[in-house]
Amino acid sequence: LQGSDASRAKFIEALSAGAAVCHFAGHGVVRQTPAEAPDSTAQPPELWDAALLFPGASAADRCLFAADLAALDLRHTALLSLASCYSGAGRSQEREGVYNLARAAHVAGVRDVLVSLWPLHDATAPVFFREFYHAVATGADPSAAAWDAQQALWRASMAEGGLSAALVRAAPFRLIRSR
């Protein structure tokens, strides 16, 4: 989905259609203060803190909250890549872990979720994903493919700009596998 087709509703429709692999490239946000969950939800209030953003006129059209993602049936999806800033960030609860988009995807049934812990570097994120998907397409386990792509990007970034460049460009990626 691209351009005007990249709406929240069409993304949910495409995600629910049964693809084994889904890739989202766009904006992600995490609220810094706790959100108020709608009264009608059975989801924990923390799942209303993280969202993927889409073009739209209203907040309901623009935001796919982690709670919305958790409510979907995505047992057919083996891999969900969220190429967006902060897709792996969220509010942490003692003894419960982090409430984020990855956790929501696991609740929905996704096995592997690839996220970013902080903003993605515009020039190097495509390099990471190209390397990652090439390895996955040739049969590599997504976890190994993510590690290998991250290490290749780390080495290139270290050579170009040193440790700080490597941290910004290569370190945010995490593949989180459900049990």
Return d(Cα 162, Cα 170) in angstroms, integer: 12
Statement: the pTM of the whole predicted model exceeds 0.95: no
- pLDDT band, residue 49 (cuts 50/70/90): confident
Give the DSSP per-residue string, 21-37: EEEEESEEEE-SSPPPP
> Could you report the per-residue pLDDT of 105-163, keeping only the tens digit for each?
999 999 999 999 999 999 999 999 999 999 999 999 999 999 999 999 999 999 999 99
Judged on CB neighbours under 10 Å (0-12, 13-18, 19+), 68 is buried
